[in-house]
Chains A and B, each alone.
Chain A
Amino acid sequence: MNALDKKLWRELWAMRLQALAIAMVIVSGVAIFIMSLSTLDSLTKTRDNYYRDNHFADVFATLKRAPLSLVPRIEKIPGVDKVETRVLAYINLDVADFNDPISGHLISLPDNNSRGLLNQVHLRSGRLFEPGRDNEVLLSDEFVKAHELKAGDKIFATINGRRKALTVVGTALSPEYIYQIAPGAMFPDYQRYGVLWMARTPLASAYDMKGAFNNISLTLSKGAHSEDVIDRLDDILRPYGSIGAIARKDQLSNRFLTEELKQQNTIATVFPIIFFSVAAFLLNVVISRLISLEREQIATLKAFGYSNLSIGLHYIKLVLMIVSIGIIIGIGAGTWMGIGMSNIYMHFYSLPYMIYTLKPQVIFFAAFISVLVAILGTLFAVYKAAKLAPAQGMRAEQPTIYHTTVIERLGLQRFFSQPSRMILRNIERRPFKSLLTTLGISMACGIMMVGGFQEGAINQMIDVQYNMSQREDIIALYAEPTSQKSLYSLRNLQGVEYVEGFRNVSAKLSFEHRSYRTSVNGIPQSSQLMRLLNTDLKEIDLPEKGVILTDYLAELLHIKPGDMLTIEVLEGQRTTLQVPVIGTAKQYLGANVYLQQKMLNRLLKEGSIISGALLKVDERDQSLVYNKLKEMPRIAGVIEQRSAIKGFYETMNESILFFTFISTLLGGSIAFGVVYNSMRIALSERNRELASLRVLGFHRSEIAYILLGEQFLLTLVAIPLGFLIGYGLCAYLASQFESDLYRIPLVLSPQVYSFAALVVIASSLISAIMIWRNLAHLDMVAALKAKE
């Protein structure tokens, strides 16, 4: 090793804590970059493999009932590759020792002991069906785990009003149900919703579908456009009660997954940008300081014939050493976090496996960006060092010029002691650096807030949606639209406190050239159980004429109150309606249209008909009510959101903890990196000044006040600024994460703010304690003897 490199290593060792503090910020940037991109790649790769290996379909359609003789016509649609018809039943389930209502989708698999042609199941355990046994079922893996079932156990299903005992022979997963939620539900509830598979013949006979089908999926041949195929398919299936086929991209489970991927992508861009800019700033101040301390050394080296280039490279090497530490640890941490995230995803979504994918180019890119940013951050300082004229470098730097501060010019100095004035002057002397330091600390505060934001957002989302807006305990879904009179029998059940019917139909909404498919909901005029809220979360009345839209849907369609909305009903008579939009309602989940039930009945030219009922039930009688509902043949499914939410919280807790841990680590690393480094630099810059003060009889605490007071002042300014940045960051993420599936509300609880502030203050205190120790070793004699 040559002598100059030895100098480098020794200097790195001498500034190891500072270097480490900077490296940690780079670690954070690299880690979060690698974590989110590798999670993104892993999820994408796993999904793609799963979709491909299990022949996930390209187009899906459900209908009432169509004869199998229709299939050849569908196969002839240009662009269609493979077609598979299925029987799909929405059923009520009964598991021993579990009282709450369970609904499920029972899906047919071919009789010939196969996993299906398309949307093949992934057999996790057990076996497929044996011919001749007509009561065997496969259950979704999650459902089996949630109920601790095993092969051979019996469960009961009510199919078409008839109760049937089914034997569990195995567990499976399906690419169609990666995100497994009950119709109308928002969160997975593996106890109360399940997916089951059964052989075609017994299911068809139980469900009155012999020689017929009510579900079809197909794949496209290369180059075919799904829109064209869907148009043709809809033409064929319309008479059979299809509400319209959908492409893979609109398939529910796939959509949730896609949103998730989009979020990872946002995370992979936003956070590394913050970390890398902070790292660049820190490197800039630290290297600038080092170079100004080493002016004479640089001049000497030049006097002995070292070239500008070798001087420049010397400092670039130092930067690269610090960055390399950051990159290496960052790659390790990022991989660890990526695996952690991927595992959380694997459990949160029903994926049969997770192919953890860390592409070399991701690592390379992370390293490349780190190096690039670090060099850009220090380029100017290094350039100055390289260009330093040797004769100039030999001359001591001119004493810095101080000015009286604004405060003094305003005549306020009498309020400040001499040391306080020193603090203010020092800040004013370099406003830009003070600003950047403040900004760096604020970033830490902001990042901390992002960590806490998720939890509060979910709370708010659930509170608004399920406590303020949807206030029912149970939703009963009818198999067929039924007369309003059916509510009497529900109202008379013991324990039922209040009942409301609702009518909903699938429809395609359009305004100008934009359209959106959703359900149109008719609810009672002054509904007690389904309340619509305005932006202030105050209840709004349903108008006599016209509709209320979910606020996000109105944005999506660019429609505003007063405009006429076109509703193309996809069921029954398939009428097309024109209705005025009266207002919008605040909703965080889904995108719907609401109007008075009576009006919907009238528009559909039907009597007082409802699709289901909302029930408010006395808690003590809940299981009694469930049991009664299960016995009612016209009730196809029962949904109970509250337990689903509870279950969701349990699964979320794990990942929220993981997130809080990581964001604290990240935010803390920035706060510490910025505060510690700026304190160290202040100490090095003012070493002599402080030592002189010590010689003059100042106490350690008094000089600490001068040195650290400045940093604390900046930290105090940084916290409110950080709140702003954090709020902005959360708002940006919320806006990026918003989709018609859900919107993330921007609520930041006081705890979020105080925790962020706390971490920043704690980081400052730790830095201060470390500097305090340095101040004890302040060498008065040496400091005064040495020439600056």
Chain B
Amino acid sequence: MKIAQKLNGEVVFHVKGVTKTYQMGEVEVHALRGVDLNLYRGEFTVLLGASGSGKSTLLNILGGLDTPTTGQVLYGKQDLTLADEHALTEYRRYHVGFVFQFYNLIPSLTARENVAVVTEISKAPMTPEDALVLVGLGNRMDHFPAQLSGGEQQRVAIARAIAKNPDVLLCDEPTGALDSQTGIMVLEALQRVNESLGTTTAVITHNAGIAQMANRVIHLTDGLISDIHVNAQRVQPNQLSW
């Protein structure tokens, strides 16, 4: 509860008893078995867990990409589990920024245009240029994804996610495909956004080292939260042991 007080205690996400079951023909896959969790405004959370433990599933549900089988997810006062297709789209459009492991840029659009795709449909976005400068790509705006390195592509993806000034930023293994140096640059970009804009940020990673830069670290095991750890001292990305 200390952390809650430190962060004004404002709950952004209230997750209660969430399960997710996938029907794979005969067998049922229980990706989440009953998750209870609060995320607070402005906090930087890292999600850790073995492969298949349900991290992506949880993040997707938070981001309105997916709906839980049972349980409740409140975003502020809005119950995402009751939201229809249209409402979820609006929710994603105005509140959420995503960063994916494989960047998911649109190959036929330049860096600037990839960001513009999002700013064009947002309410009060920054300009694509500003967003790209923020991630250190001011000189790469008119490059196509194929002309960018992996790290640069991931930073474009971050620029795209933050350009709309989202309330929450959800990142699924943003450094998964990157080497340590580039990874650090990406994490710095995330941290800068988190600190300067106060964006609630959740990052999935397999790299336990990254957990040191978070406010809180959440461990998932087999579809359940096994541990929540609060970092007394946050470590700067460039100090991380990779």
Interface set of A (CB-CB < 8 Å, partner B): 2-4, 6-7, 10-11, 14, 296-297, 299-308, 389-391, 394, 787
Contacts and interface: CB of A to CB of B under 8 A. Distances in A.
Nearest to B91: A305
10 contacts: A3-B109, A4-B120, A6-B109, A6-B113, A14-B108, A300-B98, A305-B118, A306-B89, A306-B121, A389-B65
B63 interface: yes
A442 to B, nearest CB: 35
B129 interface: no
Nearest to A4: B117
Given A6-B109, A6-B113, A7-B106, A305 B89 contact: yes
Contacts of B231: none
Nearest to B144: A10
B94 A305 contact: yes
Given A11-B108, A14-B108, A787-B102, A303 B113 contact: no
Contacts of B66: 389-391
B122 to A, nearest CB: 8
Contacts of B97: 304
Given A300-B98, A300-B100, 12 more contacts: A4-B120, A10-B108, A297-B104, A300-B104, A301-B106, A304-B98, A305-B122, A306-B93, A306-B121, A308-B85, A308-B89, A391-B57
Contacts of A390: 60, 65-66
Contact of B118 (A10, A299, A304): A304
A307 B88 CA distance: 9
B30 interface: no
A480 B109 CA distance: 88
Contacts of B164: 304
Interface in B80-135: 85-86, 89-94, 96-98, 100, 102, 104, 106-109, 113-114, 116-118, 120-122
Contacts of B55: none
B93 A305 contact: yes
Contacts of B94: 305
Contacts of A3: 109, 113-114, 116-117, 120
A11 B122 CA distance: 24
Nearest 10 A/B pairs, CB to CB: A305-B93, A391-B66, A10-B108, A3-B116, A305-B92, A300-B104, A391-B65, A390-B65, A3-B117, A3-B113
B155 interface: no
B41 interface: no
B160 interface: yes
A48 to B, nearest CB: 54
A307 B108 contact: no
A768 to B, nearest CB: 27
Contact of B117 (A11, A304, A308): A304
B99 to A, nearest CB: 10
Contacts of B116: 2-3
Given A7-B108, A390-B65, A394-B100, A301 B86 contact: no
A44 B192 CA distance: 76
Nearest to B160: A304
Interface string B47-69: 00000000011001001011000
Contacts of B63: 303
A11 B106 CA distance: 11
B106 A300 contact: yes
Nearest to A307: B89
Contacts of A299: 65, 104
A304 B125 CA distance: 13
Contacts of A300: 98, 100, 104, 106
A304 B63 CA distance: 10
**Which of A2, A6, A296, A391 has the most C-beta atoms of chain B within 10 angstroms of its own C-beta?**
A391
B32 to A, nearest CB: 13
Contacts of A7: 106, 108-109, 113, 117
Nearest to A12: B108
A230 B98 CA distance: 85
Contacts of A6: 108-109, 113
A305 B106 contact: no
A531 B85 CA distance: 80
A308 B87 CA distance: 12
Contacts of A394: 56, 60, 65, 100, 104
